[in-house]
Structure 1
Amino acid sequence: MAPRRSVLRRTVALASAATAAVVLAACGSSDSSSSPSGHTGHDAGAMSTAGPSGTASAAQGSRNAQDVSFAQGMIPHHRQAVAMADLASSRAKSQQVKDLAAKIKQAQDPEINTLSGWLKAWDAKVPDADTSGMESMPGMDHSGSSMPGMMSNDDMGKLKGLSGDAFDKAFLQMMIRHHEGAIAMAKTERDKGAYGPAMTMAKSIVTSQSSEITGMDEMLGK
Structure 2
Amino acid sequence: MNRTRSLVRRTAAVAAAGAAALVLAACGGNGDDTGSAGHGGHHAAASSSASTPASQGQHNAADVTFAKGMIPHHRQAVEMADLAPERARSAEVKKLAADIEKAQGPEIEKLSGWLASWGEEVPAEGAMDHSMHGMGGMMTAEEMTELEKASGEAFDTAFMEMMIKHHEGAVEMARTEQADGAYAPAKKMAADIIASQGAEIEQMNKLLGKD
Shorter-chain TM-score category? 0.7 to 0.9
Residue in 2 aligned with 1:167?
A: 155
Q: Which amino acid aligns with 1:136?
A: M
> Normalising by the residue count of structure 2, what TM-score does the alignment of the two structures yield?
0.77
What secondary structure is seen at the aligned counterpart in 1 of 2:35? coil
Q: Which amino acid aligns with 2:152?
A: G
What secondary structure is seen at the aligned counterpart in 2 of 1:35? helix
Cα-to-partner distance string for 1:111-161 (whole Å, 9 max, x where unaligned): 00111111111111111111xxxx5227x26xxx53210000010000001
Q: How far apart in 1 are the matches of 2:172 and 2:164?
A: 12
**Contact 1:88–1:101 (8 Å) recurs in 2:** yes
Task: Give the % identical residues.
Answer: 50
Gaps of 5+ in 1: 1-23
The range that moved more, 41-50 or 155-164, is 41-50
Deviation at 1:70, TM superposition (A): 0.5
Note closer, same or farther for the CA distance 1:100–1:61 as it changes in structure 2 (3 Å cut): closer
Residue in 1 aligned with 2:179?
A: 191
Residue in 2 aligned with 1:35?
A: 35
Deviation at 1:35, TM superposition (A): 3.2
Deviation at 1:48, TM superposition (A): 4.9
After superposing on structure 2, the runs of 4+ consecutive aligned residues of structure 1 that deviate more than 6 Å are 30-33
Which of 126, 129, 135 in structure 1 is aligned with 2:125? 129
Q: How far apart in 2 are the matches of 1:154 and 1:66?
A: 30
Q: Which amino acid aligns with 2:67?
A: A
Which of 159, 162, 168 in structure 2 is aligned with 1:180? 168
Residue in 2 aligned with 1:10?
A: none
Note closer, same or farther for the CA distance 1:196–1:31 as it changes in structure 2 (3 Å cut): same
Gaps of 5+ in 2: 1-22
Residue in 2 aligned with 1:96?
A: 92
Considering fraction of residues, name the structure with more helix.
2
Cα-to-partner distance string for 1:188-222 (whole Å, 9 max, x where unaligned): 00110011111100010000000001111111112
